[in-house]
Amino acid sequence: MSVLIFVENWDGKFKKLSFELVSYGAKLAEMLKTEIVVLSVGKVENTELEKLGKYGAVRIISAVNDKINVFDGQAYSAIIAGFAALEDAKIVLLSNNTTGKAIAPRLSVKLKAGLGSGVSKLPLSTSPFTVFKKVYSGNAFSNLIIKSDVKILTLAQNSSEVIETENKGVVTTVPIEWNPETVKTRVNEVQKQTGKILLTDAEIVVSGGRGMKSADNWGPMVELAELLGAATACSRPVSDEGWRPHEEHTGQTGKIIAPNLYIAIGISGATQHLAGVSSSKYIVAINTDKDAPIFAAAQYGIIGDASKVLPKLVEAVKDIKGK
Amino acid sequence: MSNVPDTTTKVKFIDDFTKLDTAGIQWVINPWDELSLTRALELKDDPSSGIQTVTVAHVGLISAEPTIRKALAIGADDAIRINAEPADAYFVAAQLANVLKSEPYDLILCGIESSDFNGSTVGGMLAEFLEYPSVSSVSSVKIENGQIIITREIDGGKEIVTVPTPVVAIVQKGIAKEPRIAAMRGIMMARTKPLKVVEPVAVEPLTEVQRYEMPKPRAVCKFVDPENPKQLIELLQNEAKII
Ligand SMILES: Cc1cc2nc3c(=O)[nH]c(=O)nc-3n(C[C@H](O)[C@H](O)[C@H](O)COP(=O)(O)OP(=O)(O)OC[C@H]3O[C@@H](n4cnc5c(N)ncnc54)[C@H](O)[C@@H]3O)c2cc1C
């Protein structure tokens, strides 16, 4: 019996979310009095794999094949299902990011294992096995019972602490099959923007809405974001208007994020917008309208005109960071 | 497609938080599925795509038929309703797969999630049941010379991929700009378009909602003087300890 954790790598490297996942898995295994096995697929250096040990990974399986050159949901879920059977995994844990969302449902069918997606804390009970998850786009939560013997969980990003331990992981490299002939997805072209903080990874997000008035007023906001090491985001009308790129659109129909701090500037706080940001640990709102619904979701607020408040805020951060 | 409460609904629960209070709820096509339908119709409008029919499929009781008719009014050619309470994602995907096994489609579009259960699950499960390839995080689907060309979002960028049919594309932002709306003519025609009702097969759901909870109210908002935003930064540093 074990908890099998699938960790994705980005060009051979792990991220904070990988460590969150392993930390969560270690706590889950403790709850179930079992051990964790971490599975990585594709080429990752041993020194990188060993980092996972620090977060509680005891056994780390590095499944490799030089021919792996594309992410294919069908092929990856087959690989993970194979290891789940081999390791007698009772729980398979993945991140609830784009890769996890692509694999977990397929795995659920393959293993006839109930899926709890986007869980944000440890199970409420192990018998019946009950998880806590967001429903109605954050307007409610459910206690979901997973009835099958094998279970699949995907962990919401930034919902779990990274916990360092004294543990050292042992890496086993296992060659796996990968037949390029049968893998269905072919990549024709990759377009990557580099150097930007990913919205979904960012711990601080500075976001603007229609209250920013035009595409030309974003300077101080971008500056604030840079000073805070934050990513920039926006409401839907802003990306629809072309004031900001589509990748920045947050909300029910855009990106769903859960940073530690979300600063909403000139955003009214419509339910569909909050659906994408309500899991943020802290929300700060800057808005001229004291009755804007965003203030009901925020812990800190400034009632004021963004064009006046923002430059002052930038100065304040410069002051404090300068010290 | 999924039938969900209008996205502005203030959800409430009854029977000791075990059931959604459906009183007064406006039911709509799940926003993602509405965009999928829009894209499917755009593709069909272009004769070079080779797409001849667009079908919507739904697992649900007869109470969902107004929503299905709406999809027909928007432009779907026909509809399939599998007559069962959608017990969980696994159950729904199994029912859909059972029907689609005997009536194959080349391209299956599923929305990334339904706005009620936020599972992001049915599309991938359906693909696995059918043993079809699936592509997730899809922001564009095109058909060129009979080949399906898909753009998928990856961390910090995009990939343009091709996949042989039949394929399940799990779509998100970008797939279509605005949902298509029904015109008067469409509404008239929808009444006579075929809506086939299929009885479900026996499938044991793997999950069950025990109860719902309402989100905890956030702490009351603390207001900072707009003339002195420095105070905000200090609170974030010293009180919230997040910067
Ligand atoms: C199916 C569906 C899905 C949707 N999905 C999303 C989604 O994913 N994301 C999303 O964001 N929206 C979404 N929407 C739209 C949503 O309903 C709102 O219309 C939208 O979020 C409003 O954006 P906003 O807050 O920028 O603009 P507004 O609602 O116009 O708010 C602007 C705010 O700025 C304030 N303001 C004005 N001037 C100033 C100033 N000088 N300084 C400071 N504040 C000022 C105003 O008081 C107001 O509160 C969706 C809608 C539907 C129907």
DSSP SS3 for A206: strand
A166 with A241, same domain: the answer is no
User: Residues A21, A57: contact at Cβ < 8 Å?
Assistant: no
Residues whose CB falls within 8 Å of the CB of residue B209, separated by 6 or more in sequence, listed in order: A142, A143, A144, A145, B18
Residue A193's pLDDT band (boundaries 50, 70, 90)?
confident
Distance of CA B241 to the CA centre of its chain: 38
Per-residue pLDDT 10s for chain B (243 aa) are 999 999 999 999 999 999 999 999 999 999 999 999 999 999 999 999 999 999 999 999 999 999 999 999 999 999 999 999 999 999 999 999 999 999 999 999 999 999 999 999 999 999 999 999 999 999 999 999 999 999 999 988 999 999 999 999 999 999 999 999 999 999 999 999 999 999 999 999 999 999 999 998 877 999 999 999 999 999 999 999 998
Does A232 map to a domain? Answer: yes
Among all chains, which residue has been given the structure tokens 């709406």? B70
Domain endpoint, select from A182, A213, A245:
A182
Q: Determine contact: A147 vs chain B, CB below 8 A.
A: yes
pLDDT tens-digit series, residues A231-258: 999 999 999 999 999 999 999 999 999 9
d(CA A94, CA B24): 38
A169 with A215, same domain: the answer is no
Residues whose CB falls within 8 Å of the CB of residue B12, separated by 6 or more in sequence, listed in order: B20, B21
Q: Which residues form the domain of A279?
A: 204-321
Cα A236 to ligand 1 centre (Å): 7
A157 with A249, same domain: the answer is no
A270 with A139, same domain: the answer is no
H or E stretch at A91: strand A89-95
**What CATH number labels B3-214?**
3.40.50.620
Residue A323's pLDDT band (boundaries 50, 70, 90)?
low
> What average pLDDT does chain A have?
96
In ligand 1, the atom with minimum distance to the C-alpha of A249 is 9
A19 with A119, same domain: the answer is yes
A145 with A212, same domain: the answer is no
Domain ranges within chain B, ordered by starting residue: 3-214
d(CA A166, CA A9): 23
User: Residues B59, B84: contact at Cβ < 8 Å?
Assistant: yes
A226 with A296, same domain: the answer is yes
User: Residues B110, B171: contact at Cβ < 8 Å?
Assistant: yes
Residues pairing with A170 in the sheet = A59
Does A121 map to a domain? Answer: yes
CATH code of the domain covering residue A236: 3.40.50.1220
Give the burial string for A213-236 (b: 16+ CB within 10 Å, else e): eeeebbebbebbbebbebbbbbbb
The residue in chain A having the minimum alpha-carbon distance to the alpha carbon of residue B234 is: A320
Residues pairing with B27 in the sheet = B5
d(CA A224, CA A316): 10
The alpha-carbon gap from B190 to the nearest alpha carbon of chain A, in Å, equals 27
Domain endpoint, select from A128, A150, A182:
A182
The alpha-carbon gap from A169 to the nearest alpha carbon of chain B, in Å, equals 27
Regarding the beta carbon of A288 and ligand 1, being less than 6 Å apart is answered: yes
Average pLDDT over every residue of A155-175: 94
CA-based max dimension of chain B: 68
pLDDT tens-digit series, residues B192-212: 999 999 999 999 999 999 999
User: How many CB atoms are closer than 10 A to CB B103?
Assistant: 11
d(CA B21, CA A109): 31
Does A187 map to a domain? Answer: no
What are B73's two structure tokens? 């009014």
Give the pLDDT score at B118: 95
Domains: count for chain A: 2
Domain endpoint, select from A129, A151, A182:
A182
A135 with A165, same domain: the answer is yes
Instruction: Please tell me which of the candidates B7, B173, B206 has its beta carbon nearest to residue A254.
Output: B173
Residues pairing with A23 in the sheet = none
User: Residues A144, A116: contact at Cβ < 8 Å?
Assistant: yes
Task: Give φ, ψ of A159 to 5 degrees.
Answer: -105, -10
Tell which residue, B111, B121, B51, B50, has the closest CA to residue B86. B121
A21 with A107, same domain: the answer is yes
Q: Which of residues 46-105 of B touch A (CB under 8 A)?
A: 88-90, 93
Average pLDDT over every residue of A270-298: 96
A174 with A215, same domain: the answer is no
Cα A290 to ligand 1 centre (Å): 15
Does A194 map to a domain? Answer: no
Does A193 map to a domain? Answer: no
Task: Out of A221, A234, A235, give the residue to mutate to test ligand 1, the one with the largest number of ligand atoms within 8 Å of its CB.
Answer: A235
Cα A274 to ligand 1 centre (Å): 10
- The structure's pTM equals 0.95
The alpha-carbon gap from B198 to the nearest alpha carbon of chain A, in Å, equals 22
A6 with A67, same domain: the answer is yes
Does A118 map to a domain? Answer: yes
Q: Is the Cβ pair A101, B112 closer than 8 Å?
A: yes
Q: Residue with the nearest Cα to atom 30 of ligand 1?
A: A210
Tell which residue, B155, B119, B118, B159, has the closest CA to residue B138. B159
What are B6's two structure tokens? 């209008």
CATH code of the domain covering residue A24: 3.40.50.620
pLDDT tens-digit series, residues B87-101: 999 999 999 999 999
pLDDT at A194 over 80: no
Does A174 map to a domain? Answer: yes
Instruction: Please tell me which of the candidates B125, B205, B229 has its beta carbon nearest to residue A312.
Output: B229
Q: Residue with the nearest Cα to atom 49 of ligand 1?
A: A268
d(CA B19, CA A99): 32
Q: Determine contact: B223 vs chain A, CB below 8 A.
A: yes
Distance of CA B82 to the CA centre of its chain: 17
What are A33's two structure tokens? 């009095």
Among all chains, which residue has been given the structure tokens 């002939």? A181
Regarding the beta carbon of A287 and ligand 1, being less than 6 Å apart is answered: yes
d(CA A2, CA A85): 10
Does A160 map to a domain? Answer: yes
pLDDT at A113 over 70: yes
Give the pLDDT score at B64: 98
Q: Which of residues 104-163 of B touch A (CB under 8 A)?
A: 112, 115-125, 127-129, 133-137, 149, 153-163
Task: Give φ, ψ of B121 to 5 degrees.
Answer: -125, -40
pLDDT tens-digit series, residues A57-99: 999 999 999 999 999 999 999 999 999 999 999 999 999 999 9
The alpha-carbon gap from B34 to the nearest alpha carbon of chain A, in Å, equals 12
